[in-house]
Structure 1
Amino acid sequence: MARRKKIYEGKAKILYEGPEPGTIVQYFKDDATAFNAEKKDVIEGKGVLNNRLSEYFMVGLNGIGVPTHFIKRLNMREQLVRACEIIPLEIIVRNYAAGSLSKRLGIEEGTALPRPIVEYCYKDDKLGDPLVTEEHIGAFGWASQQDMDDIVALALRVNDYMSGLMYGVGIRLVDFKIEVGRVYDGDYQRLIVADEISPDSCRLWDIETGQKLDKDVFRHDLGSLADAYTEVARRLGVMPKQATHMAKPKLIN
């Protein structure tokens, strides 16, 4: 079998050239990082869980007409996605105060926000992904005003879908981040949800107990990250209801 050409390696994924033009193979690693990669570890099985969970969310979004880059899952750690031009922004949607928002504004964690708040960070690890405004985005040409209108609409639709889905299994969607890419059909451009949606990119709290089921478990040493992600997968039906974390999780198709 011919060696695949690596395009990019990030903190949680490796991208390879896809089998057809305009496609990419996205490989999910077991690496866990926090605080801009100052804290690192390898959590066996994490990549498998995130691959399967991201597939679940992306398929659901595609099903309600929210376009994503997802094409299909290839195996336990890889999925085939559509190549796109990534806009250099992280789009964050917040439903409850937590993390940096609580620190910046002095709002107690868990406080319900009056409405979903959309924030933007410039994607640059060396700078720590700084918070930016629409003024910065327009001035530096990262996205047009029409792009921004479309990005906000996409982000809020993802929020509606994910909030309802999680609420149905007893989980509060506190906040999440997505990336958005451009695809072109001739002269026509459209925006799609790219990268991944997983517990790595969401804050997920149990509605009854407040237990954290996301990467904050790793950030703040609150227990087993693999067990937390497995619980999310179990509640969503991605894993059998009786399942507990195993070194090599057996996921259902």
Structure 2
Amino acid sequence: MARRKKVYEGKAKILYEGPEPGTLIQYFKDDATPAATTVPMVEGKGVLNNRLSEFFMAGLNSVGVPTHFIRRLNMREQLVRMAEIMPLEIVVRNFAADDISTRLGIPEGTPLPRPIVEYYFKDEKLGTPLVAEEHILAFGWGNQQDLDDIVALALRVNDFLSGVMLGVGIRLADFRLEVGRVWEGDFMRLIVADEISPDSCRLWDMRGLETPDREGVMREPAPLPDVYTELARRLGVLPSNVTHTPKPTLIN
């Protein structure tokens, strides 16, 4: 078997040259990505994230939201379109959590008046800082049409994901997107790239919130337990050869 050429390796994925021009093979690793964790791997995470990202990307394609996803190849790999990735992370927030609560003094869990789209410059050495539209325009990371298209794309993704999650008892507090440019002849368009998985979403469990605890206090939404396996189970996308649903195992 010919050795594949690696194009890029990040925390959670490896990209290889694809079998046809303009394609890549995206391989999902088990490495943990949250900055707060000190554990380097979560066994089985890559398999589940591959299935989950396929589910969301294929769903977006089916409702007319363009993505880089073409098809899943095996347990850990999928074929995707090659795209020029913009140097931005786009975050859509539906509820206050984490840094927006800290920055603006909003209690965590507070519903926001409307979905808020934020931009972060992709530079880990700088801590992926929050940037304004003016920075994006001034430094040439995108033009005004790009920004208009990003907002429209992000809000359509938010509508789709929020509805899907609500249907299985999950609140989508916020999520992160990456956007890429592709050319179709002389026409350039923006598409959703990278992945959509628990690594890029903040998910809160809504099931059982109508039942008070032993002290009679109504519970607040909490992070989804065993998020990779539980989300895959609720969405019905666990690999077909899995006959039980063990949670991913932390590897020291």
TM-score, length-scaled by structure 2: 0.89
Partner of residue 246, structure 2: 245
Partner of residue 177, structure 1: 176
Distance in 1 of aligned mates of 2:111 and 2:56? 24
Quote the offset at 1:242 in angstroms.
8.1
Any gaps of 5 or more consecutive residues in structure 2? 210-220
Partner of residue 49, structure 1: 48
Distance in 2 of aligned mates of 1:154 and 1:122? 18
Quote the offset at 1:228 in angstroms.
2.1
Distance in 2 of aligned mates of 1:243 and 1:205? 23
Distance in 2 of aligned mates of 1:243 and 1:171? 22
Contact 1:171 1:207 in 2 (8 A): yes
Partner of residue 5, structure 1: 5
SS of the residue aligned with 1:138? helix
Partner of residue 22, structure 2: 22
Instruction: Report how many residues are paired.
Output: 235
Distance in 2 of aligned mates of 1:235 and 1:246? 13
Q: Which amino acid aligns with 1:61?
A: L
Any gaps of 5 or more consecutive residues in structure 1? 214-222, 249-253
Distance in 2 of aligned mates of 1:38 and 1:136? 31
Distance in 2 of aligned mates of 1:186 and 1:244? 46
Distance in 1 of aligned mates of 2:247 and 2:120? 35
1:211 corresponds to which of 205, 222, 231: 222
Query: % of aligned pairs identical?
Result: 72
Map Cα deviations across residues 201-229 of structure 1 (whole Å, 9 max, x no partner): 0001011352312xxxxxxxxx7xxx321
Distance in 2 of aligned mates of 1:142 and 1:125? 17
Partner of residue 218, structure 1: none
Distance in 2 of aligned mates of 1:38 and 1:16? 27
Partner of residue 130, structure 2: 131
SS of the residue aligned with 2:156? helix
Contact 1:33 1:40 in 2 (8 A): no
Bigger relative contact order, structure 1 or 2, given CA contacts below 8 A and separation 6+?
2
Does residue 33 of the first structure (1) align with residue 33 of the second (2)?
yes
TM-score, length-scaled by structure 1: 0.89
Matches within 5 A, 1:1-253: 1-35=1-35, 39-208=38-207, 209=209, 210-213=221-224, 227-239=226-238, 243-245=244-246
Contact 1:234 1:243 in 2 (8 A): no
Distance in 1 of aligned mates of 2:138 and 2:72? 38
Q: CA RMSD in A?
A: 1.8
Q: Which amino acid aligns with 1:212?
A: P
State which structure, 1 or 2, has the greater radius of gyration over its C-alpha atoms: 2
SS of the residue aligned with 2:246? coil
Quote the offset at 1:34 in angstroms.
2.5
SS of the residue aligned with 1:34? coil
Distance in 1 of aligned mates of 2:161 and 2:150? 16
Q: Which amino acid aligns with 1:211?
A: A
